[in-house]
Amino acid sequence: MPHDPMIHPVADRVAGLNARYRNHAAQAVLERALTDPHVGRIALVSSFGAESVVLLHMLSVIDRSAPVLFIDTQMLFPETLSYQAEVATALGLTDVRTIRARPEAVAARDPEGLLHQADTDACCDLRKTEPLERALADFDAWITGRKRFQGATRATLDFFENEGDRRIKVNPLAHWAPQDVQDYMINNRLPRHPLVARGYPSIGCAPCTSRVAPGEDPRAGRWRDAEKEECGIHFINGKVVRGPLPKEEEQPMNMLVTDQGFGKDDWTNGFVSAEQIGAPADAPMLAVDLPSDTDPASLAGLLQGIALIRVEFPSFADGRGFTLARRLRLMGFNGRLRARGHVLADQYAMARRAGFDEVEISPELTARQPWEQWQARAGWQSHDYQSRLRGTA
């Protein structure tokens, strides 16, 4: 079988990519990012702001059908929307995907569109970070137009960044100076955002962008008077945490889903791997983590002293965990059985029917699939062919 580079951890791939492309020009970095197997599925994320056209143009020269994600916060200037359409047509981009917040999320959290006045972080979370996070779920990497000169927080920016060990972020323009951007636009006769001429060198959402005076930092017009520098999409020095800037004390916790609802994990004794299961007698309160490729036969005779088994779901499409659960039950395991990882609300009934007691999900999944969606499948005992066929209905 050919070697699949995507099996390497993100950090290793990023280090390798930075070493390999250190001395390349922006265009070359972009071209490689679109084709290097170590990068994977990739999209360009663009605000169609003042300088976005540069990367969009580079992309269109290499591959017009590469996906471009445009985040429409529904707070943008009308000029941005028309400019977006104009640029996409002029460059012949064929896969521009507009990304927006979910209507019910907006209805629930910012019904009047005034959240930005009370809490810009919360507003950006709602309108940018979460929609983008959802859209990026389908990708292994994304391309941004960030540059080192744009601020102290970006001064050490590399071409490739490790985003939370989950994705690669590619910054082909990292080393560009302001003049490079201008030159590129002039040389390639690229259309300008109409607001630039009106005094907005950096353009975001209408309520949060103001003009800057000549000589002022171009980004000074963004979130003027606030301490905010980044909108939550971009993070600080590679150590990435999604969402609002983290408050130290609040480590996001995984959620435990049971028939009763969401709850905190009440198991506090930690977990060991299958190899660490000792003699059954000496560990009455043992909890074991099983990867999805466990051979259940290897656990024969070891199940006695185990209180809790947690089966990993690396992806919702990996259904091995369901058979593992059933098998453990058939082998006589009566303790707590938990599915952990990428399990969807729609799989809750399957998990329960296969023998799991509970499901442990990440904060991200918890946010995206609230309890009502799980509750819809909590009646897992009804409409079940299996219990009829086994006489257990």
Which among ligand SF4, another protein, none contacts residue 186 (Cβ within 5 to 8 A by kind)? none
Gyration radius from the chain CA atoms: 25
Residue 5 or residue 244: which is nearer to ligand SF4 going by CB?
Answer: 244
Nearest to 30 by CA among 51, 6, 55: 55
287 scored as a contact of ligand SF4 (CB under 6 A): no
Nearest to 160 by CA among 41, 17, 55: 17
Which among another protein, ligand SF4, none contacts residue 75 (Cβ within 5 to 8 A by kind)? ligand SF4
Residue ranges of the binding site for [4Fe-4S] cluster = 123-124, 205, 208
Sign of CA dihedral 204, 209, 210, 213: negative
150 scored as a contact of ligand SF4 (CB under 6 A): no
Q: How far apart are CA 159 and CA 170, in angstroms?
A: 6
255 is catalytic: no
Q: How far apart are CA 211 and CA 201, in angstroms?
A: 8
Which among another protein, ligand SF4, none contacts residue 120 (Cβ within 5 to 8 A by kind)? ligand SF4
Binding residues with ligand SF4: total (CB under 6 A): 13
Q: Scanning residues 99 to 128, which ones bind ligand SF4 (CB under 6 A)?
A: 116, 120, 123-124, 127-128
Q: Scanning residues 187 to 226, which ones bind ligand SF4 (CB under 6 A)?
A: 204-205, 207-208
Q: Is 197 helix (H, G, I), strand (E, B) or coil?
A: helix
231 scored as a contact of ligand SF4 (CB under 6 A): yes
Please provide the size of the chain in residues: 393
244 scored as a contact of ligand SF4 (CB under 6 A): no
343 scored as a contact of ligand SF4 (CB under 6 A): no
Sign of CA dihedral 89, 93, 98, 99: negative
Q: Is 185 helix (H, G, I), strand (E, B) or coil?
A: helix
131 scored as a contact of ligand SF4 (CB under 6 A): no
Residue 25 or residue 107: which is nearer to ligand SF4 going by CB?
Answer: 107
75 scored as a contact of ligand SF4 (CB under 6 A): yes
Nearest to 165 by CA among 8, 41, 36: 8
Which among ligand SF4, another protein, none contacts residue 116 (Cβ within 5 to 8 A by kind)? ligand SF4
Which among ligand SF4, another protein, none contacts residue 127 (Cβ within 5 to 8 A by kind)? ligand SF4
Note the residues at the interface with another protein (CB under 8 A): 1, 4, 100-104, 131, 134-135, 137-138, 295-296, 316-320, 322-324, 326-327, 330-331, 344, 346-347, 349-354, 368-369, 373, 376-377, 382-386, 388-392
Tokens, residue 316: 């919702």
Minimum distance, C-beta of residue 377 to another protein, in the bound complex (Å): 8
Q: How far apart are CA 369 and CA 338, in angstroms?
A: 18
Among 231, 233, 287, 288, the one annotated catalytic? 231
Q: How far apart are CA 306 and CA 328, in angstroms?
A: 12
Minimum distance, C-beta of residue 58 to another protein, in the bound complex (Å): 26
The conformation of residue 205, written as its DSSP 8-state character, comes to: B
Q: How far apart are CA 207 and CA 75, in angstroms?
A: 7
Minimum distance, C-beta of residue 128 to ligand SF4, in the bound complex (Å): 5
Residue 166 or residue 192: which is nearer to another protein going by CB?
Answer: 166
Q: Is 274 helix (H, G, I), strand (E, B) or coil?
A: helix
Q: Give the residue carrying structure tokens 């360009």.
A: 44
Minimum distance, C-beta of residue 143 to ligand SF4, in the bound complex (Å): 21
Residue 247 or residue 383: which is nearer to another protein going by CB?
Answer: 383
DSSP-assigned states of every residue in 147-212: -GGG-GGGTT--SEEEETTTEEEE-TTTT--HHHHHHHHHHTTPPPPTTGGGT-SS--BGGGB---
Tokens, residue 61: 């020269």
Q: Residues 336, 307: contact at Cβ < 8 Å?
A: yes
Minimum distance, C-beta of residue 208 to ligand SF4, in the bound complex (Å): 3
* CA distance readout (Å), 250 to 103, 123, 208, 247, 363: 28, 20, 28, 6, 12
Q: Which residues bind ligand SF4 (CB under 6 A)?
A: 73, 75, 116, 120, 123-124, 127-128, 204-205, 207-208, 231
* Residues assigned a catalytic role: 231
